[in-house]
């Protein structure tokens, strides 16, 4: 049985993203606006051009994306990728595996957010979004989320605070499971660094002799339906 690889630095997750190139109801080409409750997300732009639209308590912002740019934002930032032509990105996600466990809430209208069954139905993708699934379902949920995003932008800080509260209420049942994933991933990675520092302070370099090198030759999936585009994914612990 092959050796289980160590996680990427800090327990992050990595994927390659080709941003959707169809038009939403507001005339903008791109992905689905959503928020993360616990994860900071980063983009390293590798091709094309576009922007990321963000909404925080500090207001709305649009940050250009061009090859070479690195952009990241903290939990609570509503974000939406805009494709200006051939936009491709390496996505770096804090707490590898946590977004896949539900740490993402789409900006559906309030009546959908308030009903867990309605939210699940609106967010669902055929075969869970597996490569080859019908992409029209991803566009349908994007378009509904854009409708909610437009209302958030127009509503000001109070509207955004209400959305954050609704997102928490929707995901509260998952928090214990999220904590387990964090403890086994990013939390464990941070604790290991602390243990290594303790060992070095004692004059014990033993862990240096245990070093290994890992490599993943190619994605395990190509073209999974994501929120903002087609994803090439890597093992959750790679």
Residue located via tokens 């928090």? 175
> Token pair for residue 154?
């127009």
Q: How far apart are CA 128 and CA 73, in angstroms?
A: 26
Rounded CA separation 233/215 (Å): 14
Which tokens belong to 153?
């932008």
Q: For residue 132, give Cα distances in angstroms to 15, 127, 136, 144.
A: 18, 9, 11, 22
Helix ranges (DSSP H) in 53-185:
110-113, 116-123, 136-155, 157-171, 175-184
Q: What is the pLDDT of residue 1?
A: 35
Average pLDDT, consecutive stretches of 10 residues, N- to C-terminus, the chain (238 residues):
71 95 98 97 98 97 98 98 98 89 96 98 96 96 98 96 98 96 93 97 97 92 96 78
DSSP E strand stretches across the chain: 13-19, 34-35, 41-56, 59-65, 70-73, 78-93, 105-106, 221-225, 229-233
What is residue 6's predicted lDDT score, i.e. its pLDDT? 81
Residue of 42, 97, 28 lying closest to 73 (CA atoms): 42
CA pair distance 187, 179, nearest whole angstrom: 9
Q: What is the rounded CA–CA span in Å between residue 156 and residue 153?
A: 6
**What is the spatial distance between Cα 135 and Cα 145, in angstroms, rounded to a whole number?**
16
What is the DSSP secondary structure assignment for residue 115, as one 8-state letter? Answer: -
| Other CB atoms within 10 Å distance of the CB of residue 131 | 15
Closest CA to 100 of 214, 177, 3, 190: 177
Measured in residues, the chain has a length of 238
Task: Kindly state the tokens that stand for 133.
Answer: 């699934």
Q: What is the pLDDT of residue 238?
A: 43
Coil/strand/helix, residue 238: coil
């Amino acid at each position: 049985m092959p050796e289980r690889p160590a996680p990427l630095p800090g327990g992050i997750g990595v994927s390659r993203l080709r941003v959707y190139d169809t038009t939403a109801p507001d005339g903008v080409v791109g992905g689905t606006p959503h928020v993360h409750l616990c994860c900071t997300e980063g983009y390293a732009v590798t091709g094309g051009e576009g922007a990321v639209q963000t909404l925080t308590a500090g207001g709305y912002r649009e940050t250009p994306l061009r090859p070479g740019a690195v952009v990241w934002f903290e939990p609570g930032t509503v974000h939406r990728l805009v494709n200006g032509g051939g936009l491709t990105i390496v996505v770096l996600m804090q707490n590898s595996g946590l977004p896949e466990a539900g740490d993402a809430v789409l900006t559906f209208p309030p009546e959908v957010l308030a009903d867990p069954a309605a939210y699940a139905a609106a967010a669902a993708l055929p075969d869970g979004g597996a490569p080859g699934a019908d992409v029209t379902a991803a566009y349908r949920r994007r378009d509904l989320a854009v409708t909610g995003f437009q209302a958030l932008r127009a509503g000001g800080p109070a509207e955004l605070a209400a959305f954050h509260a609704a997102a928490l209420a929707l995901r509260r049942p998952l928090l214990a499971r999220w904590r387990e994933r964090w403890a086994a991933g990013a939390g464990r990675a941070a604790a290991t660094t602390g243990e290594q520092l303790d060992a070095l302070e004692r004059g014990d370099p033993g862990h240096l002799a245990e070093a290994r090198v890992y490599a993943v030759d190619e994605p395990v999936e190509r073209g999974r339906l994501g929120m903002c585009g087609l994803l090439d994914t890597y093992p959750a612990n790679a």
